[in-house]
Amino acid sequence: MKHELDNLNLPFMAKSAGPPWLPAPAVESREITWWTQWLMGLLGLVYIIAGIVSFFTIDSSSAAFWAAYILACGVAYFIVLYLLKGYFFDNLDQGKFQIASNWLIMFAIVGLFLAFVPGLLLLLSYLRLRDVFQPSYQPYPAGSYQTGAVPQQPSQPAPPSPSAPQQTPPPQPAEQPQPEQPKKAEMVKCKKCGVQYPSFMRTCPNCNEPR
């Protein structure tokens, strides 16, 4: 039956399914209020029809007063339905239990004046929702009430990347010993012919002149 009622897609009516993370008292309170809204919608429609019909069938001023009262109650029911969806169901589905509870007790008081049964049901829903504020239930922090949201795991530091092995420079080739340049012999000049010859020679190779 819930599925059929949700398929009507009335803009001022809340859906039967709430977020899966709601605690048990909030789920039960939401269930009671959801059925109450449909009861109020049905009574509001009956009151409006009865009030309109009464205006065309009455013949006294006292009956006209009650017809106007019934019509006003029917209109007030639909106003409460519109506010109930925006101020109770939306806040409850977002984890704002305190705000939803404050609005629910006000709607329950109004419902008691309009019709006893819907107001009594809303009061029962309010008392059930108060269990959320027991020590075992804590309101959800802001930003964590998305439907089906998966809690984020703390990020773990990435393992240090293995350092690349230090490349040792290739060994430098040993310097090859430079071949010794032959020492130039000291030259002397022949006094006679002028030819230059090594100093270790005692005579000129050209004219045999001694040094």
Residue 31 counted as domain residue: yes
Residue 160 counted as domain residue: no
pLDDT digits (tens, 9 = 90+) for 21-37: 889 999 999 999 999 99
What single-letter amino acid sits at 58? Answer: I
Counting the structural domains of the chain, the total is: 2
Q: Whole-angstrom Cα distance, residue 120 to residue 10?
A: 24
Residue 50 counted as domain residue: yes
pLDDT digits (tens, 9 = 90+) for 109-121: 988 887 788 889 9
Residue 180 counted as domain residue: no
Residue 175 counted as domain residue: no
Cβ 4 vs Cβ 13: under 8 Å:
no
Residue 105 has pLDDT above 90, yes or no: yes
Q: Is the pTM of the predicted complex or chain greater than 0.75?
A: no
Q: Is there a single domain that holds both residue 33 and residue 126?
A: yes
Q: Is there a single domain that holds both residue 7 and residue 77?
A: yes
Range of the domain at 83: 2-133
Cβ 78 vs Cβ 44: under 8 Å:
yes
The residue-averaged pLDDT of 76-85 equals 88
Residue 124 has pLDDT above 60, yes or no: yes
Residue 117 counted as domain residue: yes
Q: Is there a single domain that holds both residue 201 and residue 124?
A: no
Output 65 or 99, whichever has higher pLDDT.
Answer: 99
pLDDT digits (tens, 9 = 90+) for 126-170: 999 998 887 654 444 444 444 444 445 545 555 555 555 556 555
Tokens 């048990």 label which residue? 24
Residue 211 counted as domain residue: yes
Residue 177 counted as domain residue: no
